[in-house]
Amino acid sequence: MSDKTQTASRSSNVAEYAVVACLFAGLGGALWYGVSISRPTKAEEPVTTAAPAAEAKSVAVAAKPGEFTPPGVSDYPEGPMGEWVRRGEAIFTRTPTNAVGFSGNPLSCTNCHLDAGRLKGAAPMWGAYPMYPAYRKKTDHVDTFAERVRGCFMYSMNGKAPDDGHDILVALESYAYWMAQKAPTGEKLPGAGFKKAGQPEATPTYEAGAKVYEAKCALCHGADGKGQFVGEVAVFPPLWGRDSYNWGAGMHDIDKAANFIKNNMPYGNATLSDQEAWDVATFINSQERGQDPRFNGNLQATAEKHHGQYSMYGKEVNGKLLKGL
């Protein structure tokens, strides 16, 4: 066997071991779903087209009476609309690869909106699209769905928002519209948004969260929270630092992260208690990360204007002021 073949084999084994160990042994878990996330590369001109999506791996599950069922994974529309839907799916599931110039970290949309935006309780697209336009306190005006997606690029992807009408936004809107085309407009469906965690019995602490992280998360995401890469591919995404969501993302709020973690992690075996979810969310979101794009040059003024009680931005943790990278 050649050296190159041996190296490729070892890399494949590492990835396979990480997936099996974390998702099925219950010793850890990917804080966001997705095991093929390319590290973004620099580009002089933003890419405006997306590669065809890989064959979907979602498994259709019969809905309970009264629940909404999105189109099947192979029920794409015919003609040009179908092409736009497929392009949107490709961007959604492999954002760094298919949104070069706009994505600023290794995260993809599907890392928060699980199962390619289909999973109920994990902010599915079929539950989000029908709720826009809507007033949002974060922006203090009525946002369109496209504006909401632009915010994801700025905050969750720690990147640059595509201009309104850009091919990337049109493709993502087409994908979300296709999923939600039979959903009622303006009505919050069961399973839309993130399912909430229960309240913790005790005040969440950094120290308790560190213990949960070491026991349940570090195997996959690393003790330093930088995730795990095989070559240029993030097998498990970073949870803090420049390569994760920044201080403006909704997930940086401890309550929102606790909701997500409690109901989805470890992925495929969500067994954490409410207290553990709140503790580990406190630990993760007490780490430094990319600067809030709304930073106005004054840390405390930015914190007071844009951050609430569940944000650690502008606060001191273990003698270190969290001020953005």
Q: What is the pLDDT of residues 151-195, one digit of tens each?
A: 999 999 999 999 999 999 999 999 999 999 999 999 999 999 999
**pLDDT at 27 > cutoff 70:** no
**pLDDT at 123 > cutoff 70:** yes
First to last CA, the chain: 45
Looking at the structure, tell me whether residues 156 and 219 fall in a common domain. Answer: no
**pLDDT at 26 > cutoff 80:** no
Looking at the structure, tell me whether residues 41 and 169 fall in a common domain. Answer: yes
The answer to whether 131 touches 188, Cβ cutoff 8 Å, is yes
Looking at the structure, tell me whether residues 130 and 238 fall in a common domain. Answer: no
For residue 27, is it within any domain? no
For residue 304, is it within any domain? yes
* CA pair distance 185, 177, nearest whole angstrom: 11
For 112, the domain range is 32-180
Q: What is the pLDDT of residues 35-60, one digit of tens each?
A: 333 333 333 333 333 333 333 344 44
DSSP per-residue string spanning 180-216: HTTSPTT-PPTT-SBPPPPPPSS---HHHHHHHHHHH
Residue 38, pLDDT score = 35
**pLDDT at 80 > cutoff 60:** yes
Which amino acid makes up residue 153?
F
Cβ-defined contacts of 229-234 (< 8 Å, 24+): 229/39, 230/11, 230/12, 230/14, 230/15, 231/11, 232/38, 232/39, 233/36, 233/37, 233/38, 233/39, 234/37, 234/38, 234/39, 234/106
**pLDDT at 121 > cutoff 70:** yes
| Domain count within the chain | 2
* CA pair distance 184, 71, nearest whole angstrom: 15
Q: Among 165, 180, 195, which residue terminates a domain?
A: 180
Residue 130, pLDDT score = 97
Average pLDDT value over all residues in the chain = 84
Higher local confidence (pLDDT), 2 or 173: 173
Percent of the chain exceeding pLDDT 90 equals 73
Looking at the structure, tell me whether residues 169 and 216 fall in a common domain. Answer: no
Higher local confidence (pLDDT), 13 or 325: 325
Residue 65, pLDDT score = 58
Looking at the structure, tell me whether residues 153 and 288 fall in a common domain. Answer: no
Q: Is the pTM here over 0.85, yes or no?
A: no
Residue 73, pLDDT score = 85
| Strand locations in the chain (E) | 37-38, 134-136, 141-143, 228-230, 233-236, 316-317, 320-321
Looking at the structure, tell me whether residues 167 and 235 fall in a common domain. Answer: no
Residue 232, pLDDT score = 63
CATH of the domain at 293: 1.10.760.10
Both tokens of 317, joined, read: 């943790």
For residue 194, is it within any domain? no
Average pLDDT over residues 20-48: 36
Q: What is the pLDDT of residues 266-313, one digit of tens each?
A: 888 899 999 999 999 999 999 999 999 999 999 999 999 999 999 999
For residue 259, is it within any domain? yes
Higher local confidence (pLDDT), 25 or 228: 228
Looking at the structure, tell me whether residues 62 and 166 fall in a common domain. Answer: yes
Q: Among 146, 180, 214, which residue terminates a domain?
A: 180
**pLDDT at 87 > cutoff 70:** yes
Higher local confidence (pLDDT), 231 or 239: 239
Residue 63, pLDDT score = 52
Looking at the structure, tell me whether residues 49 and 141 fall in a common domain. Answer: yes
Q: Among 136, 162, 180, which residue terminates a domain?
A: 180
Looking at the structure, tell me whether residues 213 and 133 fall in a common domain. Answer: no
Residue 56, pLDDT score = 38
The answer to whether 54 touches 93, Cβ cutoff 8 Å, is yes
Of 9-13, 82-86, 226-230, the poorest mean pLDDT is in 9-13
Both tokens of 67, joined, read: 């629940």
